[in-house]
Amino acid sequence: MRLTRLYNLWLHFPFDRPQYTMKTTTRFALTLLMTAAMSSAMAEGGDAAAGQKKAAMCIGCHGIVGYQASFPQIYKVPMISGQGAEYITAALTGYKSGERKHPTMRGIAASLTDQDMADLGAFYASQKGTPAAAAPQPSAQVAELLKKGNCASCHGDNYNKPIAGTYPKLAGQHADYLYVALTAYQAEGKATSGRGNAVMAAQAKPFSHKELKAIAGYIASLPSELTVVPNAKMR
């Protein structure tokens, strides 16, 4: 990811919104600096062929169509085939560091080196799906919620073209997973299921659970590059 994209993100972020306190703004600035450092460290990129060989620990959940996790509630595990390589690396890094607190994912990520993460990111990014041509329009209520959350400012056109590689594509992702992820940002302090991200916490906390479900339901209906590619062993 180029530093100019980080600079543009800083310029266009809505710091004037009431949910962004001085503490949040400071943490956001630190996040940008850490992202820049991470991007520099990942400049050499991963090896998709090597990642395919390392994905054995992933396919038991992410390589089965409709597979469901049961913690902290029942939901479909996220589709990661077609996701951006930098985002997959960033997410695994978050689990390893404890920023993301899901016990199973943290245990898996703890065993991975930086190169392992980059290779897995390259492998799953290479499995991009083909999205449908047309995107459904949101209801007036959902459109207002999306505007309030300013979601497109980071996740891009149709929530499928994030402005930074370390941000996820959201379009077409399972609605129940999106809901669980958003509520995890609301519960950032929880020891086993929260997510510690100042920006996303500030975005998610003003919404009720009902509103988050409405947002997740619409984004899940959008054309997507995300997919599940079943491994031959799991067919």
Per-residue pLDDT of 97-156, as tens digits, reads: 999 999 999 999 999 999 999 999 999 999 998 887 788 999 999 999 999 999 999 999
Q: How far apart are CA 45 and CA 86, in angstroms?
A: 9
pLDDT at 131: 82
pTM, whole model, 2 decimals? Answer: 0.81
The better pLDDT of the pair 3, 218 is held by 218
Per-residue pLDDT of 48-67, as tens digits, reads: 999 999 999 999 999 999 99
- CATH number among 3.40.1710.10, 2.10.109.10, 1.10.10.10, 1.10.760.10, domain 3-229: 1.10.760.10
Residue 4 banded pLDDT, cuts 50, 70, 90: very low
